[in-house]
Amino acid sequence: MAGADNKCAGARNASRSGTKAIMSASSAPGPADDPWSKTMRAAMAGDEGAYRRLLIDIARIVRGTARAAFARSRMGDADIEDAVQETLLAIHLKRHTWDPNQKLGPWVNAIARHKIIDAMRRKAARKVAPIEDFEEFLAAPEEEDPHALSDAKRLMERLTPRQRDIVQSISLDGQSIAATAARLSMSEVAVRVALHRALKALGAAWRRSIA
Amino acid sequence: MRTADLIAALAADPVPEKIRLGPRFGAAVAVGLIGAFALYALFVGPRPDIGEAVRTVRFNLKFVDAAALALPLLMLFVRLARPDAKPGALALWLVAPFALLAAGVAVELAVIPRAEWLTRLIGQNWMYCTTMIPMMAAPILAALIVTMRHGAPQYPTLTGALAGTASASLAALLYASHCPDDSPLFVATWYPLATLICTGVGALAGRRFLQW
């Protein structure tokens, strides 16, 4: 555990400075009544608007945390947004591990720390050879650099066509569940289930890309 | 994909799956124990003189010790399903089984003549002990790991190691009723060895299966 602690230290310090507000957690009996916890409870009861606002808020905080952690390890900005997206997806898929009697902030922080470390490890593993070795290749004309794609976009390609269609329809095209259901002649429930499965598959694909 | 697009997709799926971790772990322990007990019934079974054995301190100490290890380990393990878990005072309870075993060894060394120490330590059944405990622990470990995949443990390898150790201590609880060796010298040597095998397997399983 000591080894893991050391590795976490960078991200943890960063998260401390980045999100001081949400670190002041203490366990109190009964449901936590800070704004984030309340919003999360509303979201889990089905309030899409509340959930969207909360995720936007969390994304902003996590971005700051990730930026600080990456800067501390001199890693550049390239993969920060991937870390943010991966954190959001993990928050989404692991919501049931949040104890509503605890504040949401420390829980979000723990997930962000875990995912930021993952992203930093992945980036470290991807370190490229000196550029001199590739000069000839770089000079040749290229259609599209696959590495320019964000991780999320590349992982989307691992979804089934139907899953990809639904995710794109709701995210990129901003369609509602109802509109998507009508277009694909599916029931709304079926679209919701398919969306949920697609998000789970996206999480699994992300995990495999680390292993 | 822009982050705003991902948020749109996530927000359209606001209600989480109904996964209650506590009951799930309860079910996992039950299923694992049924598997372990089936193996016990098939391959191990109680020792023939169990009627007299239950009246001896040495025999009963084996169960108390295994239970004292299993309970805090299982509770710690379940707690680690949450990413923001803190071990807290629960971790201190893990001192109890070791203190208990050490006390048992000390008393044994005091009351048994030196010439008999080694005989008692080696006992009759060490080979069986170090194979049967991991075998009976296997279904429990599997059930715990499968269930923990619903969790979000911050340290997957450590969490897996904890599952391995907990399943070994539960298996030891069963095995103790078979084993003819009751001396704390035997228990303090071979049970931990069998347990460490499970700890190692659990750590590997955690590393492999508990990433999220």
Instruction: List CB contacts (< 8 A) between B154 and chain A.
Output: 110, 113-114
Q: Residue B3: is its pLDDT beyond 60?
A: yes
pLDDT for res A9: 42
Q: With 0-12 CB in 10 A as exposed, 13-18 as middle and 19+ as buried, what is A135? A: exposed
Whether the CB-CB separation of A146 and A154 falls below 8 Å is answered with: yes
CB–CB contact A95 B83 (8 Å): no
CATH 1.10.1740 spans which residues of chain A?
A: 8-21+30-125
Which letter does DSSP use for residue A2 in this model? Answer: H
Which letter does DSSP use for residue A155 in this model? Answer: H
**B8 in A contact zone (CB under 8 Å):** yes
> What does the block give as tokens for B119?
């005989």
Q: A119-123, B3-7, B8-12, B47-51: which has the minimum mean pLDDT?
A: A119-123
pLDDT for res B100: 94
> What does the block give as tokens for B48?
């023939």
Altogether, the residues listed in chain A come to a count of 211
> What does the block give as tokens for A21?
């507000």
pLDDT band at residue A145 using 50, 70 and 90 as cut-offs: very low
Q: How many CB pairs under 8 A join A and B?
A: 118
Instruction: List CB contacts (< 8 A) between B158 and chain A.
Output: 1, 4
CA distance A108 to B32: 32
pLDDT band at residue A211 using 50, 70 and 90 as cut-offs: low
**A207 in B contact zone (CB under 8 Å):** yes
- Best mutation site among A96, A121, A172 for testing chain B: the one with the most B CBs within 10 Å? A96
Interface of B with A in 53-112 (CB under 8 A): 81-84
Q: Does residue B7 lie within any of the structural domains?
A: no
The DSSP code sequence of A92-150 is: HHTGGGS-TTS-HHHHHHHHHHHHHHHHHHHHHHTPPPPGGGGHHHHHS--S--GGGS-
pLDDT for res A150: 65
pLDDT digits 0-9 by tens, B194-211: 999 999 999 999 999 999
Q: A160-164, A168-172, B16-20, B141-145: which has the minimum mean pLDDT?
A: A168-172
CA distance A156 to A152: 6
Residue B162: how many other CB atoms lie within 10 Å: 26
Q: Does residue B180 lie within any of the structural domains?
A: yes
Instruction: List CB contacts (< 8 A) between B82 and chain A.
Output: 97-99, 107
Q: Residue A123: is its pLDDT beyond 90?
A: no
**B148 in A contact zone (CB under 8 Å):** no
Domain A8-21+30-125: assigned CATH number: 1.10.1740
Q: Is residue A28 helix, strand or coil?
A: coil
| Mean of per-residue pLDDT scores for chain A | 77
Instruction: List CB contacts (< 8 A) between A177 and chain B.
Output: 12
A142 Cα to chain B: minimum distance (Å): 22
**B149 in A contact zone (CB under 8 Å):** no
Q: Residue A108: is its pLDDT beyond 60?
A: yes
CATH 1.10.10.10 spans which residues of chain A?
A: 156-211
Tell me what the mean pLDDT of segment B89-102 comes to: 92
Q: Does residue B171 lie within any of the structural domains?
A: yes
Q: Is residue A82 helix, strand or coil?
A: helix
CA distance B2 to A173: 12
**B207 in A contact zone (CB under 8 Å):** no
pLDDT for res B88: 82
Higher pLDDT, B148 or A170: B148
pLDDT digits 0-9 by tens, A25-83: 444 467 888 999 999 999 999 999 999 999 999 999 999 999 999 888 888 777 888 89
Whether the CB-CB separation of A107 and B29 falls below 8 Å is answered with: no
Closest CB to B6: pick one of A110, A114, A171. Answer: A171
CA distance A176 to B8: 10
CA distance B186 to B196: 15
Of chain B, the percentage scoring pLDDT greater than 90 comes to 83
Which residues in B28-55 are b (16+ Cβ under 10 Å) and which e?
bbebbbebbeebbeeebeebeeeeebee
Instruction: List CB contacts (< 8 A) between A96 and chain B.
Output: 16-21, 150
- At B91, the amino acid letter reads A
- Of all residues in chain B, the one with the smallest CA distance to A155 is B1
State the number of CA atoms in the 13 A half-sphere of A166 facing the CB. 29
* Three-state helix/strand/coil letters over chain B: CCHHHHHHHHHCCCCCCCCCHHHHHHHHHHHHHHHHHHHHHHHHCCCCCHHHHCCCHHHHHHHHHHHHHHHHHHHHHHHCCCCCCCCHHHHHHHHHHHHHHHHHHHHHHHHCCHHHHHHHHHCCCHHHHHHHHHHHHHHHHHHHHHHHCCCCCCCHHHHHHHHHHHHHHHHHHHHCCCCCCCCHHHHHHHHHHHHHHHHHHHHHHHHHHCCC
Closest CB to A94: pick one of B3, B12, B212. Answer: B212
Tell me what the mean pLDDT of segment B165-188 comes to: 95
CA distance B29 to B147: 10
pTM of the model: 0.82
> What does the block give as tokens for A68?
């600080």
| ipTM of the complex in this document | 0.86
pLDDT for res A5: 41
pLDDT for res A169: 87
Q: Residue A95: is its pLDDT beyond 90?
A: yes
| Mean of per-residue pLDDT scores for chain B | 94
Q: A87-96, B11-20, B161-170: which has the minimum mean pLDDT?
A: B11-20
E-strand ranges in chain A read: none
CB–CB contact A97 B11 (8 Å): no
Q: Number of structural domains, chain B?
A: 1
B153 Cα to chain A: minimum distance (Å): 9
Q: Residue A22: is its pLDDT beyond 50?
A: no
Instruction: List CB contacts (< 8 A) between B1 and chain A.
Output: 85, 150, 152-153, 156, 171-172
Provide the residue range defining the domain that includes B162. 22-209
- Best mutation site among A12, A94, A167, A207 for testing chain B: the one with the most B CBs within 10 Å? A94
Interface of A with B in 23-52 (CB under 8 A): 43-52
CATH of A156-211, one of 3.60.20.10, 3.40.50.300, 2.60.120.620, 1.10.10.10: 1.10.10.10
Higher pLDDT, A19 or A119: A119
Q: Residue A7: is its pLDDT beyond 50?
A: no
Of chain A, the percentage scoring pLDDT greater than 70 comes to 73
pLDDT for res B1: 73
pLDDT for res A127: 62
Q: Residue A94: is its pLDDT beyond 90?
A: yes
- Ranked by mean pLDDT, the top range of A77-91, A141-155, B96-110 is B96-110
